[in-house]
Amino acid sequence: MKMNAQNIKLTMVAVLLIAGGISVRAGIRYVSPTGNDANAGTSWAAAKLTVQAAVATAVTGDTVLVTNGVYALTSPINITNVIVLNSVNGSSVTILDGQQAARCVLINGFAATVNGFTLRNGRAINGGGVYCNGGTITNCVITNNQAVGDAPQGGGVYCDGGTISHCVISGNSVTSTNTDHYSASAEGGGIYAVNQSQIDHSTVVNNSLNGYYSSGAGINANNGRVENCTVSGNTAYGHWYASGGGVYMTANAGGLIRTCLIAGNRAYTDRGAYTTNTGQGGGVYFNSGSATLENCTISGNSVDGDFSNGGGLSCGAYDQIRNTIISGNTATADNPVYSVNYYPNQYAPPTFDHCCSTPQPAGAGNIASGPGFVSGGYRLDTGSPCIDTGTNQAWMATATDLDGNPRIANGT
């Protein structure tokens, strides 16, 4: 068969589109409070009324564009292909409301993106606001969601191998309704993350846990990475055991907390009913080992129980604590208090280097002086003994701190 020049040109374009991974069917689906689900959704004039109706018609590569409004949900928005769900004007004016009846969003195993929404009043056993099985949640406010049930996880977010970036996760809760006191767990008040999930540039505040065993009121992560985040004001209440008021990390395959402020979190238990009720790691609790905590500030956290271990940090075998301030944390107990600022496993201790805490940790470059914070905050004041006393690493060359300033100043 002979091909003319026009056929050859079209064939080459088609090949380039396929090779470049671009869908020729990619387009925009529109959603508006004044729309109608009978519409095609292919323009603002023909916009859909509900987000799910537009998502259901979107194909791989499409963008579902949602304009200002409160979208009341009776079931989760279910995303089952690689699309972008995007608001026009951001989270302050584009709201997905679960009405305490349904989870807001489910990304079901695809590299989809949800960008620029408030996800509120969602409710489920796992992931009250959003269940992110793969994919990315970015520029969202995730608030006032609940995970409630037998072994609930992730009041705001359940993240399975996905990414949470540039989000605010606040005021979410996890409540165990299990009546078996030996298995009634509550995990991840703000975020529950597994399978190497990434949490970055986010604020995780005022989330809570309630169960017999409570772990990770702000974030409960199985390995993965928590970077450039503020984790504060979260509360883990466990009738018997509470750990990780800010962050609880199981790190048997290596986990990372880097460039974070972890402040004002609390883990506490009932007193008196059982003499072994324990609060551990008011700021951070490392479970297992091989985790890294670096370039962080951990301050103003607390634990309480019949035993109290590590108001700021509880850590163990093979954990690496580096370039970190652990100061001003508290622990209260009827029995002897163990390490108010940090509690290292006595039989398999972690490694500290270039840290500031009391008592002074063993290791290179550690100091026990007060960090010298500015009044009412956690930045270092002029004359702080922590200035220019860290150790440099390759990743810092282009990295910034929480204020967006270069990580390395004055060469150190």
Q: What confidence tens digit (pLDDT) does each residue in 107-140 have?
A: 998 999 999 999 999 999 999 999 999 999 999 9
* Residue 95 confidence class, pLDDT cut points 50, 70, 90: very high
CA-closest candidate to residue 77, choices 143, 124, 42, 39: 124
Mean pLDDT of the region 45-59 = 98
Longest dimension (CA), the chain: 91
Nearest CA to 279 out of 332, 345, 210 is that of: 332
Residue that wins the pLDDT comparison between 273 and 115: 115
Distances (CA, A) of 106 to 118, 134, 306: 15, 10, 40
**How much is the average pLDDT of 331-345?**
81
Top-confidence residue, 276 or 12 = 276
Kindly report the number of other CB atoms within 10 A of residue 398's CB atom: 9
CA distance 301 to 340: 10
Indicate the burial class of 2 (C-beta count within 10 angstroms; 0-12, 13-18, 19 or more): exposed
pLDDT band at 359 (very low <50, low <70, confident <90, very high): very high
CA 239 to chain centre: 24
Task: Give the up-direction half-sphere exposure of residue 235: CA atoms within 13 A in the CB hemisphere.
Answer: 11
Task: Give the per-residue pLDDT at 70.
Answer: 98
Nearest to 207 by CA among 220, 223, 224: 220
Contact status, residue 265 vs residue 295, Cβ threshold 8 Å: no
- Average of per-residue pLDDT across 61-77: 98
**Contact at 8 Å (CB) between 216 and 251?**
no
User: How many Å apart are CA 157 and CA 145, to the nearest integer?
Assistant: 9
Minimum mean pLDDT among 28-37, 95-104, 255-264, 276-285: which range? 276-285
When pLDDT is averaged across residues 87-101 and rounded to a whole number, the result is: 98
Q: Output the average pLDDT for the chain.
A: 91
**Alpha-carbon distance 85 to 130, whole Å?**
13
Residues 125 and 148 sit within 8 Å (Cβ to Cβ): yes
pLDDT of residue 222: 94
- Tell me: pLDDT of 10 over 60: no
Give the pLDDT confidence score for residue 273 in this predicted structure.
61
Question: Using CA atoms, how far apart are residues 307 and 333, in angstroms rounded to an integer?
Answer: 5
23 pLDDT more than 60: no
Residue 291 neighbours by CB distance under 10 Å: 26
- Residue 170, classed as helix, strand or coil, is strand
275 pLDDT higher than 90? no
pTM of the model: 0.92
Give rounded-to-5 percent helix, strand, coil for the chain.
5, 40, 50
Mean pLDDT, to the nearest integer, of 154-176?
Answer: 98
Could you tell me which residues are beta bridge partners of residue 357? 326
The answer to whether residue 6 scores a pLDDT higher than 90 is no
Alpha helices in 21-155 (DSSP H): 51-57
* pLDDT above 80 for 316: yes
Confidence of residue 176 (pLDDT cuts 50, 70, 90): very high
Q: What is the pLDDT of residue 7?
A: 37
Predicted confidence at residue 20, as pLDDT, reads: 38
Q: Is the pLDDT of residue 39 over 70?
A: yes
**Residue 117's closest CA among 154, 157, 146?**
157
pLDDT single digits (tens) 217-246 = 999 999 999 999 999 999 999 999 999 999
What tokens were used for 313? 């940090």
Sequence-ordered strand ranges (E) for 41-129: 63-66, 69-72, 77-79, 84-87, 94-97, 105-108, 113-115, 118-120, 123-124
Percent of the chain with pLDDT over 90: 81
| pLDDT score of 391 | 95
Is residue 380 pLDDT above 90, yes or no?
yes
Q: How confident is the model over 42-64, as a mean pLDDT?
A: 97
E strand residue ranges, 163-294: 163-165, 168-170, 173-176, 185-187, 191-194, 198-200, 203-205, 208-215, 219-227, 230-232, 235-243, 247-258, 261-263, 266-269, 278-280, 284-287, 292-294
Q: Which residue has the tokens 């992730």?
A: 154
